[in-house]
Chain A
């Protein structure tokens, strides 16, 4: 893959600089500093001896390893400046600066982290020079509830149980529960993933839906769970979850933007027929009501009836 070749080239250029200053560097230390596995590092070390300023003249890098340490035998042959630390590329400066600015403005972040990020950002901006210019063309805001965030952060660090009063939009109700926190993550909004002692299951809580939070003195004791890969999306329906079919007109196409779906079939009127799965179809009553004339639930039947009934009851209150 092309992007891998780019990333590998970038890494090897840095490796050359790194190894020049650290003869006999240990594989494990280098891999850790570079954020790669020892195997990835070794595959870079396989390529480097084929590189140099002239393959005919024999000016190739004599870099080798005994499997534990790395030696560069002819570091001087290359000329001392060739392996100098290289300036940051525009994308590199952007990737770090945008991320650092986004995290630094997160409400509830520990002040020591905020300060450290701001200091690092200032140093990076100075070192990146004009490469930092385009970084203002990309920005990210994380939403967070500062007070709740700080309590969750502390609970995880101190391994303590939490008590929550939590709003569930699916059921439009507040429930109280104890939760053993597992992790705190941000994907646009900020979430607590934890082991819910009420349902004895793993649950994800959006921080802006926490109505009240308390740190308990009891230690948290979540069962070992495999952490989900968040790049797969936050909601990952299970194969056995019931299927819901929704037909929307052009005005209801946003459904496909907000709900992960299995299929979305174009309809002749510019609408969509969306098929999705959810563990709790009743939670979609809200969606059915919201859609109004822009769409309707096709299946399951009970859900469609349920929404109709709710609408009739509501109309009765308006004297209709």
Chain B
């Protein structure tokens, strides 16, 4: 049976951490059983390169040192790999443990538990075990269970591209477009708001900042091994853009009539409410993008008074529904 990958990686890590002088590929190959079984040079080389990348992903700093004889050696020095001292008190550890459970995305969930394990191993977390009796004082804390969904296939490649600052290419379908369009983007940040993920970055074709909703990415995300061409701003304002899409940055007001007992959320955001003699109410509400579609949802329970433009849009939408 082939030797499991975890065992192979573990051996490579221990060899690199345990050595004082850089070890050559040849030396590593003879020290690690899985590499001896790897077959020819080519498959060994591929495996070795991948393994080094995997260990680097796990945080290991591996130095590449060229020897006098031209041979390349590898080692993971203690100084550059040591976790600086850290000590969390019981409250901090409990709160962090709560936060660490938020990720439902496999890579980040694994990274979060891995980080907590490192802190435990380093003695940075409070010890309750003693003699195995009792598990220490329970710290009262918020009963909240926070979860961050990230089910989209595009999430992980975009996260890595943001981290490593690599340009990406993907097909993107705008909300009202019939077909997706190829986009070339220098990705800056990913932001989750109201449970949806958005990417902000520099759109190379449009030569401007753009925000993408990642559920609208169709097909794979490919990253390019080239550098960014535009500077990354200090502050990226994904949320402002999304709020504008959602019609939450209204600059005008609309006046509507509301049937008794209906439209609570309209009342809740009204800037003015006047109760009328017939039981209906007249409201002034912020008028931003998308208000027409929202008001139509209330059917005959809402009548738009002004502006005329909004009234016309709502009537137009109602006609389309009535026609079927």
Write the residues of chain A forming the contact surface with B, with a CB cutoff of 8 angstroms: 2-18, 21, 25-26, 28-29, 32-35, 47-48, 50-57, 61, 78-79, 81-82, 84-96, 99-100, 102-104, 106, 109-110, 112-113, 116-117, 119-120, 123-124, 126-127, 129, 131, 134, 136-143, 149, 153, 156-157, 167, 169, 172-174, 183-190, 209, 211, 230-231, 250-251, 253-254, 257, 269-271, 285-293, 296, 304, 307-308, 310-318, 320
Contact = CB atoms under 8 A, between A and B. Distances in A.
B262 A172 contact: yes
Q: State the 4 A-B residue pairs at the shortest beta-carbon distance, nearest first.
A: A188-B195, A270-B178, A89-B59, A85-B122
B108 A47 contact: no
A86 B146 contact: no
Interface residues of B, number: 128
B143 A139 contact: no
Interface stretch (B64-72, B94-102, B203-211, B221-229): B94-102
Given A90-B163, A134-B162, A50 B146 contact: no
A131 B107 CA distance: 16
Nearest to B123: A21
A281 to B, nearest CB: 16
B276 interface: no
B177 interface: yes
B318 A314 contact: yes
Contact of B86 (A13, A116, A124): A124
Contacts of B55: 9
B299 interface: yes
13 contacts: A7-B114, A9-B58, A96-B96, A117-B99, A120-B95, A141-B194, A185-B147, A186-B146, A253-B173, A253-B175, A285-B299, A292-B293, A318-B303
Q: Please classify the interface of chain A as helix (H, G, I), strand (E, B), loop, or mixed, using the class held by over half of its residues.
A: helix
Contacts of A79: 18
Given A15-B121, A286-B297, A89 B58 contact: yes
B36 to A, nearest CB: 9
A320 B7 CA distance: 76
Given A85-B82, A317-B300, A317-B303, A96 B91 contact: no
Chain A CB count within 10 A is highest, among B107, B110, B121, for B121
B62 interface: no
A220 to B, nearest CB: 12
A94 B301 CA distance: 48
A312 B324 CA distance: 11
Contacts of B10: 9, 12-13, 47-48, 51
Given A94-B111, A314-B318, 20 more contacts: A4-B6, A18-B121, A29-B132, A47-B4, A48-B10, A56-B31, A84-B78, A91-B57, A96-B112, A99-B146, A102-B146, A120-B92, A126-B84, A140-B102, A185-B145, A188-B192, A188-B196, A289-B321, A308-B321, A310-B300
